[in-house]
Amino acid sequence: MGNTESSSYQNHLSRFLPEEQTDIDKVFDTLSGVDGPAGVKNEKTTRKFVTLAKLKAYTQQALPEQMTVRLFNGMRSVNLPGKAAGPSEQIVKEQFVMFMSYLLKGLADEKTGIIMGMISETAGPVTGKQIQEFTEHLVTAAVHVLNYRKELKGWDLEKTQDVASGVKTLASQLLSELRPAGGEIVGADLQDATCDQSVIEDWVFRVPQISTFLSVVIRLGLLVLHSVPDEAKDLVNLVPKCKGLKGEGFVSLLDIPSIIYINSYLPTELQHKWRLLFSSRLHGESFSQLCGHIVSKGPCLLVIKDTDGYIFGGFASHSWEVKPQFQGDNRCFLFSIFPSLAMYLDTGYNDHYMYLNHGQQTMPNGLGMGGQHEYFGLWIDCDYGKGHSKAKSRCTTYNSPQLSAKENFTLDAMEVWAVGEVPETEETKGKKSVLDADPEAQALLEMTGKSRQSEGLRTPVEDDDN
């Protein structure tokens, strides 16, 4: 290795802590088929390298084959100073370390060259179609390796929606952030758009999920730096811990890619845990049952499916309370899951974030988010089963379009997930009374404005998952 190469290599190596360097050495030795002191002893005479066949043998079932090939192409794209340009079929340690340095420690401009090599083996601009294929492979590999390494934290692929459909909607959402030369391009035209390295660099800079998924694939797929303290922090809140995904035959309205995407928009302190509060398929189709399960339970996510198959919902930043005023703050948002995945955040136009009311003649009775009375961005009527998404051109509060297939929709199913820790008032509740066992009776009592006289007088017990 010449002085120029040595200097570049050492600069990249210095980005890693000593324990990280040890971990990288160990993985490379395993990949190259060298293990133990013998490999180190013969390092001056034996040039260690990784081939595609060795990489496939190492990843085996942990990664889909198409992602393993893309990782190898990314390694091949690393040009060593002082060496002839062009991809090699043998990856030496310097290339391996620089590949890790670029993708795990580098800035957007450093990552882009490697990502371009993973998108296409041919140098030069890439098409929107090639980028979409890469993105779908990346998301698929991330979900696959999370499941394979048992990192889904209680989520079950058999109790959630189809992963393949979720992959396509998430990939399309990430791809929609591309800004090819000439401005924003949408739909089929994006497939044919030509994107040079500057476009990909801008995309990687603005869409952090690309770097996050690459980190997941590398750390868990190659088992490098996955257990080093502070270095796997991007994995900590990627998938929230799931509580309450129970019930024979129950399948959530959510899919894993959508869960990951929605979770990334929640306040950081709420990203670590979700627990199921209400499911119309488990708890019945009743507005008072819905209220009984979600009132005073802390921040939560509503997920709705209409009878046309559209799936959408909203994030409530505060506990739901039954009252004739708007609630919440600018952390609330609306979202769409199917047929497209999209997020709609606060516009600052008004503070009509959350609304929950029942039993009044002069005010609307039901649950709403965004917009205004009778014209909510999302509304579930107290006559459970009916709703609307009257956004006109856009919802004033969240700039969201019509989320449902029809402006006035019929509800097929609904779920509510609490996010973050259980509120203190919930944790300190006493032993369950008749009202605890019947959320509908509890909700009706609260709607009449009457308090529970026994509240605060019972021995605290731990809240269960449901």
- On whether both 169 and 303 belong to a single domain, the answer is no
Condensed to tens digits (0 to 9), the pLDDT of residues 319-330 reads 999 999 999 999
pLDDT attached to residue 87: 66
pLDDT attached to residue 325: 92
CB hemisphere CA count around 74 (13 angstroms): 29
- On whether both 102 and 223 belong to a single domain, the answer is yes
> How many domains is the chain built from?
2
For residue 317, tell me if it sits in a domain: yes
For residue 438, tell me if it sits in a domain: yes
pTM of the model: 0.85
User: Hey, what are 432's tokens?
Assistant: 């369950």
CATH classification at residue 26: 1.10.238.10
For residue 460, tell me if it sits in a domain: no
- On whether both 67 and 139 belong to a single domain, the answer is yes
Among candidate residues 235, 250, 278, the one where a domain is terminated? 235
Bridge-based pairing of strands 408-419 and 386-388 is antiparallel
For residue 337, tell me if it sits in a domain: yes
Q: What is the CA radius of gyration of the chain?
A: 26
pLDDT attached to residue 457: 36
- Domain assignment of residue 340, given as a range: 265-447
For residue 456, tell me if it sits in a domain: no
- On whether both 227 and 269 belong to a single domain, the answer is no
For residue 248, tell me if it sits in a domain: no
- On whether both 299 and 228 belong to a single domain, the answer is no
Burial readout 298-331 (b: 16 or more C-beta within 10 A, e: otherwise):
bbbbbbbbbeeebbbbbbbbebbebeeebbbeeb
For residue 254, tell me if it sits in a domain: no
Instruction: Compute the distance between CA of residue 355 and CA of residue 213 in angstroms, rounded to an integer.
Output: 36
- On whether both 183 and 51 belong to a single domain, the answer is yes
pLDDT attached to residue 230: 57
Instruction: Compute the distance between CA of residue 7 and CA of residue 307 in angstroms, rounded to an integer.
Output: 63
Does the N-terminal peptide bond of residue 180 adopt cis geometry, omega within 30 degrees of 0? Answer: no
pLDDT attached to residue 183: 60
- Tens of each residue's pLDDT in the chain, 466 residues: 444 446 778 888 899 989 899 999 999 999 998 544 444 444 444 678 999 999 999 999 999 999 999 999 999 999 887 666 666 789 999 999 999 999 999 999 999 999 999 999 988 899 999 999 999 999 999 999 999 999 999 999 999 999 999 999 999 999 999 988 756 555 557 777 889 999 999 999 999 999 999 999 999 999 998 766 555 666 788 999 999 887 778 999 999 999 999 999 999 999 999 999 999 999 989 999 999 999 999 999 999 999 999 999 999 999 999 999 999 999 999 999 999 999 999 999 999 999 999 877 778 899 999 999 989 999 999 998 999 999 878 999 999 999 999 999 999 999 999 999 988 765 455 444 445 545 555 555 555 555 444 443 333 333 444 3
- On whether both 284 and 206 belong to a single domain, the answer is no
